[in-house]
Amino acid sequence: MRLLAIEQTRSPQGKLRLRFDSGEAMLVLPAVVADLSLRPGMDIPDAARASLEAAAGSASAKERAVRILSAATVSRAELEHRLRQKGESPENARQAVEWLDGLSLLDDEAAARQIVRSGTAKGYGAARIRQMLYAKHIPRGLWDEALAELPEQDDAIDAFLQKRFRGRQPDRTEIRRAADALLRRGHAWGDIRRALERYDPDLPEAVSYTHLTLPTIA
């Protein structure tokens, strides 16, 4: 197989198009062309084609991994999962993660802390944030340390009730719905009950724990 041309493309990543005498074409990153010293007119044995395709796949996975990491703090497992979702092979995804890990650019502890901060900013409680840690593939051994930074929930719950009730006296249905919403946000019933008492000592009597819809916690 002979390489006929190396063409520029409009790819945001600057990918090059390789054209072969077989009529086939392949998009690769410039690094692949440089690493393999590719040039128009050179013959590429069939045995070398597999190496070319592997190099192209590996470079693509690494480039995609860098883009993902530049947009958000992610754990090792989350990054590999997202690469595979984007169509990278399991082997290329694993190698890309190992490459970034070797450069000390992946930090599961930092990713866990970022998730806790994000959940806190949204007014979530510990149970909901545990769901977030699970969904983002954070190792369970890191959960407790990250959750230790979670502030007391009283202020978040009080702010929610003030916004929901606007200083007025809610009826039984409104109280139950507000408590239900707080449970879905991951707050503990004990914390919710105390917040209702702070708003109005008579409110907790209007709703019981058994009447609430409990969230499923991973």
Query: What contacts 78, CB < 8 A, 6 or more positions away?
Result: 111, 136, 137, 138
Question: In this structure, is the dihedral angle defined by the CA atoms of residues 84, 87, 89 and 95, taken in order, positive or negative?
Answer: negative
Query: What contacts 209, CB < 8 A, 6 or more positions away?
Result: 189
CATH code: domain 3-102 is 1.10.10.10
Q: What is the pLDDT of residues 55-107, one digit of tens each?
A: 888 888 988 999 999 998 899 999 999 999 999 999 999 999 999 999 999 99
pLDDT of residue 209: 56
Residue 139: pLDDT band with limits 50, 70, 90: very high
The ranges assigned to domains in the chain are 3-102, 108-147, 154-211
User: How far apart are the C-alpha atoms of 174 and 137, rounded to whole Å?
Assistant: 36
pLDDT of residue 218: 46
Three-point CA angle 152, 155, 161, nearest 5°: 135
Q: What is the pLDDT of residues 178-195, one digit of tens each?
A: 999 999 999 999 999 899
Query: What contacts 2, CB < 8 A, 6 or more positions away?
Result: 20, 21, 41, 42, 43, 44
Q: What is the pLDDT of residues 103-135, one digit of tens each?
A: 999 999 999 999 999 999 999 999 999 999 999
Mean pLDDT of the region 16-43: 84
pTM above 0.75, yes or no: no
Q: What is the pLDDT of residues 1-21, one digit of tens each?
A: 888 888 888 876 678 888 888
